[in-house]
Structure 1
Amino acid sequence: MGGRLEVRITPADVGKRVSVRRRSEGDAAGSKFTDTVGVLTSWDADVLSITPKSGESVHIAESSLVAGKVVPSAPARRRGPAATFAELAPVCARAWQPVESEPLGEWLLRSAAGFTRRANSVLPLGDPGIPLDEALARVKRWYDDRGLPAYIQTATGAEGTQEELCAELEGHGWRREVTAQVRIAALAPIGDLDADISAVRLSREIDEGWLSRYQRFDTPGPHVLKVLGSGPSVWFATVPGDAEGDSPAAIGRCVVDGRWAGFMAVEVGAAYRRRGLATAVMTALARQALDEGASAAWLQVEEDNEGARALYDRMGFETHHLYHHFRSA
């Protein structure tokens, strides 16, 4: 924070994105400072709570503030497709549809016998229609009845995301377990990559070979097939192994939904890495999506998956927002 140091925020700015500087705990005035940028989610009893992009709230004593200001809700994007959270969140959800769901106001309770948190968590895209305490109690009962842990999926880091809900969940004892990036890019450059796609086979159906490479479940029951097959237009990519009967060398999945093509389940066997197979799979799927009229790409990647993030960096993907799964206490 440059220029004159001045605290220019008040409790009336709760709900806005702010940047603050405070004296670090235990340091004398003026010796060390810490900067925080995020949504001001509360200002009570001389303590500010700010939820940054990470989704984990920071609590700051008002007396430690040396500067603070309201900042734009989201930085301007440098390249790639324009997208709002309100548009992108339902698109991502339609790619992982549950076996069972139930609305709670503008929340959607989702279940798929435990296969993938994205299909076994609450999608809160508005007001639950009842006080939050009651909504959380109902969520817990709904998942208890199905023998599942209660998760709520939230998002941070873009205009219209859910920093305030993250803070409220923390206040009710819910804890963040998983954080991932939602990345977006222009689709045409992916389809234009110089990749050998001659071995990539595309299909509308999942076969046993594809499932043997995916291995994200104990038993591939009907619930797994239903979730993986869900979406407006779904394609599965397979690169055969070197020998007949081997598990595929690489696989991928793409869901085309209007202008969006979502990429997921891109996996390469350990013995087949560094051959460009992940790029080949995504290029083949991108070309299919372009043929169907899509123009933008999205994917989700966990923050600690450095190899995948490096690949997606090279393809032009940039982080749009983060999503988190909060689990009930």
Structure 2
Amino acid sequence: MDFTAGGRLEVRLTGADVGKRVSVRCLADSADTDAKFTDTVGVLTSWDHGVLVITRRTGEIVRIPESSLVAGKVVPAAPARRRGPAASFEELARVAARAWQPVESERLGDWTLRAAGGFTRRANSVLALGDPGLPLDEALKRVRAWYGERELPPYIQAATGAEGTQEGLCAALEERGWRREVSAELRIAALAPIGDLDTDDTAVARVRLERHVDETWLQRYQRFGVAGPHVLKVLGSGPSVWFASVPGEGGVPSAIGRCVVDGRWAGFMAVEVDPAARRRGLATAVMAALARRALDEGASAAWLQVEADNGGARALYDGMGFATHHSYHHFRA
């Protein structure tokens, strides 16, 4: 990694660069690695008391003692992705929120506090876009109290890794004792190729599409304790919602999926396959059938969310052309 045209290493960062994307090199901890230096790229979220805090694209927060710095500089934003439709972070965050609507919500400045009886963090967390209209510590106190009144753990959803994401908020939450429980990627792709996936048309023909979720679909989903009204409301929320299922033994579907069509976007979620029926192309068939219906409704772009540690799903979506737009995280007090 060259930090100057002549190959010399120097620190060209100051406290005024907080909030910018930077690349730094520091002396490695010899107890942890054989390498002499380690390199870190991310957003410089603070520089206080002789410690730099850098938030990487994945949301990982790295603390670097100033005394270990060898070189550092501000670097351009990550290059635009070559795959998938153009989209801003805020557009995608709001589209995803409309696909997982809460049972109740309340505004705190530009933030939205959301609750749905605890079913899915996406409907039971603060959508922290913009300014809460209060100093951060006071806003967090209000958040804890609001969720406490509902006997729910307080979560805040924040994102990293794209222009306009919330690296500063993530670092500030960690400094205040909030911990990242779950990280996931929001991925995007062109929609038409998903509808044209190389799959068995017979399998696609077996996929049933319905406007409403039924008991058999819920038996395959199993992401909740009891499917009360709050679960049905969240699953049924969105501008245009479709539920897919492939008939299976005992009346329980072999595979399911959910799609929310919202303008140009089609969001895919809840794609699950019976373990006994995996590697038969059923997930691909479900995705293709939902994509074709979304194309009929005028959508042209696709998005989905996949947890960072779900290697099988990540590989599946890689093959469908999905590329990561940004990462998002749920922080718990």
- Stretches of 4+ moved more than 6 A in 1? none
Change in 2 beyond 3 A, CA 1:7/1:201: same
1:284 to 289, 312, 315: 289
Q: What secondary structure, in the 3-state scheme, does the structure 1 residue paired with 2:130 have?
A: coil
Structure 2, gaps ≥5 residues long? none
Q: TM-score, normalised by structure 1?
A: 0.96
1:56–1:166 contact (8 Å) kept in structure 2: no
Q: TM-score, normalised by structure 2?
A: 0.95
- Residue in 2 that maps onto 1:163: 167
1:106 to 106, 110, 113: 110
1:56–1:176 contact (8 Å) kept in structure 2: no
CA shift at 1:5, angstroms?
1.4
Deviations 1:129-187 (A, max 9, x none): 00001000000000000000000001000000000000000111000000011110000
| Alignment partners' CA distance in 1, 2:163 and 2:74 | 14
Read off the aligned partner of 1:204 and give its amino acid letter: R
| Alignment partners' CA distance in 2, 1:187 and 1:31 | 44
Where does 1:186-265 land on structure 2 (aligned, <5 Å)? 186-195=190-199, 196=201, 197-241=204-248, 243=249, 245-265=250-270
Structure 1, gaps ≥5 residues long? none
CA shift at 1:54, angstroms?
2.6
Deviations 1:72-111 (A, max 9, x none): 2232212211111011110011000000000000110000
Equivalent residue pairs, number: 324
Deviations 1:295-325 (A, max 9, x none): 1100000111111111100000011110100
- Residue in 1 that maps onto 2:48: 44
Q: What secondary structure, in the 3-state scheme, does the structure 2 residue paired with 1:198 have?
A: helix
2:97–2:122 contact (8 Å) kept in structure 1: yes
- Judge which range, 85-94 or 72-81, deviates more: 72-81
| Alignment partners' CA distance in 1, 2:285 and 2:260 | 17
- Residue in 2 that maps onto 1:17: 21
2:30–2:36 contact (8 Å) kept in structure 1: no
Change in 2 beyond 3 A, CA 1:191/1:62: same
Q: What secondary structure, in the 3-state scheme, does the structure 2 residue paired with 1:282 have?
A: helix
| Alignment partners' CA distance in 2, 1:143 and 1:325 | 14
Task: Kindly report the root-mean-square deviation, in angstroms, between the aligned alpha carbons of the 2 structures.
Answer: 1.3
| Alignment partners' CA distance in 1, 2:284 and 2:8 | 49
1:32 to 26, 36, 51: 36
- Residue in 1 that maps onto 2:145: 141
- Residue in 1 that maps onto 2:187: 183
1:119 to 119, 123, 130: 123
Once the two structures are aligned, what percentage of the paired residues are identical?
Answer: 77
CA shift at 1:194, angstroms?
2.5
